[in-house]
Amino acid sequence: MIIITGGAGFIGSNIAKALNRRGERDILIIDNLVNGKKMLNINDLDIADYMNKEEFIQRIKNNEDFGGHVQAIFHEGACSATTEWNGKFIMENNYDYSKSLLHWCDQHNVQYLYASSASVYGSGLVFKEERANELPINMYAYSKFQFDQYMRRFQQQAKNQIIGLRYFNVYGPREQHKGSMASTAFHFHHQISKTGVAKLFEGIDGYENGEQRRDFVYIDDVIAVNLWFLDNPDKSGIFNLGTGRSQSFNDMANAVIKWHGKGKIEYIPFPDHLKGSYQSFTEADISHLRAAGYKKAFKNVQQGVKCYLDWITKSDHYPPL
């Protein structure tokens, strides 16, 4: 059995779909479905069972099993809102939950692959998996950073594989439920479709309008890395998961405009509530991932946007604009 927490979410549901393509059906999805629209992410999956998050956490804390051998847990479940400042809520959902799973996996000799985040680097300009480069600037980032720190200590005595993947700006199919936290590719597509205008932030932190840069990584590449580590249980550690190349928000908007064959860009004032807690630049150093043996190329924004918007137009379960 393979367990996926946050299995009805963006990355979790894509992992489940990729496992289905491999012929894997013995999958346990963990989520809460308070947002029932996430059902659209899992209605085409073949899984063994679904379990509510609260029941799952309690069973983990009680050190129960799940009716058979568990090969791996993909821990994708978390509060991912970078604008959430309720620290107690964030630490319970992101940090404590991750620790409980880490200990359960170690006791049961289960591969543990969990979602970390590029947000741990804060406003720094060096994105390499080293403590000196890590300085989170919001609660979400702190929860991910602190668990990475805990994992580093625990890994020294761990009996099983532990993989932390620091996701950069992931975009692609099955993110429509995320609302304001969905990718800029998603929002630009909707804006161009409805009004013909993609709205980007004006410049900040020395960047010109729309020239803030992120390492945008397409979901298929993210899933490929996850499954590569599943297939290589001798590998452990924390790894950046990005393309290794930053591109501007203007690049992203222009890729969407090119796909539509219409549209323009409009710049809007930078929001006050994001000042001081916003990353204007990210670019993954993927030398550690390459050294581990992962060799596949990553799509750039232009390639990824085409794949994404092509998928949207042919998807039967994608919600209408």
**Residues 283, 245: Cα–Cα separation, whole Å:** 6
Q: What angle do CA 140, 32, 84 make, to 5 degrees?
A: 20
**Residues 240, 168: Cα–Cα separation, whole Å:** 8
**Residues 162, 194: Cα–Cα separation, whole Å:** 44
Q: Which of 140, 142, 167, 218 is catalytic?
A: 140
* Distance set, CA 229 to CA 57, 74, 225 (Å): 24, 11, 6
Q: Which of 178, 199, 258, 306 is catalytic?
A: 178
Rounded to whole angstroms, the maximal C-alpha distance in the chain is 56
**Residues 232, 175: Cα–Cα separation, whole Å:** 28
Q: Residues 105, 160: contact at Cβ < 8 Å?
A: yes
**Residues 18, 127: Cα–Cα separation, whole Å:** 28
Catalytic residue flag (residue 140): yes
Residue 210 has phi, psi (to 5 degrees) of 70, 5
Tokens, residue 285 = 């150093």
Tokens, residue 43 = 């209605």
Q: What angle do CA 287, 288, 290 make, to 5 degrees?
A: 65
Q: Residues 280, 207: contact at Cβ < 8 Å?
A: yes
**Residues 120, 143: Cα–Cα separation, whole Å:** 9
Catalytic residues: 140, 178
